[in-house]
Amino acid sequence: MTSSRSVSPVATSFYDRLGIGVSGLCVLHCLATPLLVALAPGLFWFENEWIHLGFATMAAGFLLLAMRQWRRDRTGIIVRLLGVTAVAGLFGAALADIAEAMEQAATIASALLLSISHIIGSRCRH
């Protein structure tokens, strides 16, 4: 009998897909923002740090939901550590007072690492 708190495998796969999607949006935002702001200065709000924090918060939430169904063996622990490290990188890039290029590189690397953790995690469900 499953507990009422468990998440079905279908839902876990859904949360992994959402996590990958949010990570992809982070990468797209990082790559497109400089071009959009240069072409349309009225989009300056697109560079707002609150957008970065919003993406990082969504990524953290989807990661927590997806991790609930990942295996609890060594592989699952390693994948969880990858995911948590990636989310910490997203928050660090958003909150740190670093050059724009460094922030962009850290965000892209963290988003890719987070996508990798979701892909591996979705394959190692219990």
> How much is the pTM?
0.77
Cβ-based burial of 52 (10 A; exposed 0-12, middle 13-18, buried ≥19): buried
pLDDT band per the 50, 70, 90 thresholds, residue 1: very low
Query: Is the residue at 82 inside a domain?
Result: yes
Q: Which residues contact 85 (CB under 8 A, 6 or more apart)?
A: 113
Residue 53 structural domain: 9-123
The pLDDT, as a whole number, for residue 88 is 96
Query: Cα–Cα distances in Å, from 90 out to 49, 102, 108, 124?
Result: 12, 12, 9, 24
Query: Is the residue at 67 inside a domain?
Result: yes
Query: Is the residue at 4 inside a domain?
Result: no
Query: Is the residue at 1 inside a domain?
Result: no
The pLDDT, as a whole number, for residue 48 is 73
* Mean pLDDT to the nearest integer, 84-102: 90
The pLDDT, as a whole number, for residue 8 is 54
Tell me the pLDDT tens digit for each residue of 21-55: 888 888 888 888 778 777 877 766 666 778 888 88
* Mean pLDDT to the nearest integer, 5-10: 53
Query: Is the residue at 3 inside a domain?
Result: no
Q: What would the two tokens of residue 9 be?
A: 């495998």
The pLDDT, as a whole number, for residue 13 is 76
More confident residue, 58 or 5: 58
Residue written as token pair 């009225």: 42
- CA-based nearest residue to 92, from 79, 110, 80: 110
Residue 69 CA neighbour count, 13 Å, CB half: 21
User: How many domains does the structure of the chain reveal?
Assistant: 1
